[in-house]
Homo-oligomer: A and B are copies of this chain.
Amino acid sequence: MVQQRFIEDSIRYDGSQLSSLWAYRSYGIQGDSIVSFCGPCQVSFDKMVDLEDVIQGETIYSQGMLHFIIEHFELDLEKTVLRQRLFMTIIKEEIESKGQYRLQRKGDDLYWIDNEQQKRQKLSVSIATLSPVSTMIHTGLNLQTEGTPVPTVALAQIGVKDPEEFARRIMEKYSAEMKDIYAARCKVRGVE
């Protein structure tokens, strides 16, 4: 079971949270988990794990984001990238379920197409990686858009007024989907 926790304190995400057993060391959460909190986001180059960004000189910065840190205690990174994509889908489905705003998913990125301005605005950053004992995901959703390196949209602009309540629903859905996926694996006979 994927344990869920929303941390009410603001935490500056600087990449150090994407390290093994962060949830256990910080909050006593032992086992697979998803933890969420709000706070600014600034990752220095030496903490960046996405070498694509490093190569392209892209920085990760936001004055305010809703963050998620996910940890699964196994070592198959491709599997955790699959989980990450599904996690982005869950966020997209949740925002769209309110009926008004439509998002576009490109791999692990979510965008909002502002039809008036005909402009694609980025909602999210996300990365999946390996630690020595687990695989981990970080996803950040913009709460503020000032000063971001690319045009961005904030959750409040697309209908999400209460980040905590939104985070709790997303975490609940992710945990439920992971449980359901394991159950799906446990109901089929093999074929020839």
**A interface residues, Cβ below 8 angstroms from B:** 1, 18-21, 24-25, 28, 30-32, 49-52, 54-55, 73, 75-79, 81-86, 89, 93, 96, 102, 105, 107-108, 127-134, 136, 177, 180-192
Contact = CB atoms under 8 A, between A and B. Distances in A.
A185 B24 contact: no
Given A21-B51, A86-B86, A86-B89, A183 B133 contact: no
A85 B181 contact: yes
A75 B78 CA distance: 12
A185 B81 contact: yes
30 contacts: A20-B190, A21-B186, A21-B187, A24-B51, A25-B54, A25-B55, A28-B55, A30-B183, A30-B186, A31-B182, A49-B190, A50-B187, A51-B187, A51-B189, A78-B181, A81-B181, A82-B83, A82-B86, A84-B184, A107-B177, A107-B180, A107-B184, A128-B185, A129-B191, A130-B133, A130-B188, A130-B190, A132-B189, A133-B190, A136-B191
Give the secondary structure class of A's interface.
mixed
Contacts of A184: 81, 84, 107-108, 128
B79 A79 contact: yes
Contacts of A85: 86, 177, 181
Please give me the 7 A-B residue pairs with the lowest Cβ-Cβ distance, nearest first. Answer: A132-B190, A82-B82, A129-B188, A19-B192, A130-B190, A78-B185, A31-B186
A108 B190 CA distance: 18
Contact of A191 (B19, B54, B81, B102): B19
